[in-house]
Amino acid sequence: MAAQQQTAWQGELLHQEMMAKHTSWRVGGPADNYYKPTDLDDLCVFLSELPVDEPLTWLGLGSNLLVRDGGIRGTVISTSGLLNKLSLQNDTELYVEAGVSCAKVARFAARQNLTGVEFLAGIPGTMGGALAMNAGAFGGETWTKVKNVTTLDRKGKRSQHDRNEYQIGYRSVKGPNNEWFVATTLLLENGDVDAGQKRIKQLLAKRAETQPTKLASCGSVFRNPDGDHAARLIETAGLKGCCIGKACVSEKHANFIINTGDAKAADIEALIKKVAEVVQQKHGVALHREVHIIGEAK
């Protein structure tokens, strides 16, 4: 796209922005363009002025994502901390924009005496990403609480869709093509603020105890197969602590791959492939990635 800023939009446009600064794995090459909108209206204007063939990538907190070392062609839209409106619409409904962190939604709901989304405290991403993949934790899933969603198409046109317009599965959401989630209304239930906050603290304590939360990772790498857990399969295949370069399978939770220092995206991708191959050989189970891999190899 053209490098010169247009007066119609007001956000910040960066060029050759290193994605390692914006992903939880701390890896990833440069994005051709990286746009930080001022708000949802500004984003609509920006999208309306993009060339129709401009590749688009949407980014929240950069978890559940591996950006290859060669970077991303086209334009990355950053939502984290930018599309950040969070409000109580009525007694049991929350309006949440895509850039709000899942943990913030959980805490806000608890303070409003609303229950049903405590599990979001265990998801290290934004609501936009949670909507896109039906993210879940501790037995809860995002779309069980969705009433409707607001989307944008690549021309910046807004649409609203009810939950029943989407096919929802385990870590899977299928709906209108070439539209991206920018907000949602969550339908919750009245509860007890103290009980809700206590539940959140319990879930966060469990997460800290069982997951390498202080190390650079993407969250869970593989989906759980039916009737089993990816972590159990990886651990019993003898892969805990297995490394390629500076990328290692966590000793704490086998379904996490951590960047122990200056890992390359290529190291992480190679380790993901190796883990899947060894589990297939030893257990006869095909693991499917939960993490998305995008961009170009270097």
Residues annotated as catalytic (active site), given as ranges: 171, 220, 290
**Closest of 47, 35, 79, 49 to residue 152, by C-alpha:** 47
Query: DSSP letters of the chain?
Result: --SSPPTT--SEEEEEEEGGGSSTT----EEEEEEE-SSHHHHHHHHHTS-TT--EEEESS--SEEE-TTBEEEEEEE-TTTS--EEEEETTEEEEETTSBHHHHHHHHHHTTEES-GGGGG--SBHHHHHHHT-EETTEEGGGGEEEEEEEETT--EEEEEGGGSEEETTEEE-STTEEEEEEEEE-EE--HHHHHHHHHHHHHHHHHHS-TTSB--S--BPPPTTS-HHHHHHHTT-TT-EETTEEE-SS-TT-EEE-SS--HHHHHHHHHHHHHHHHHHH-----B-SEEESB--
- Cβ-based burial of 162 (10 A; exposed 0-12, middle 13-18, buried ≥19): exposed
**CA–CA separation, 277 and 233 (whole Å):** 12
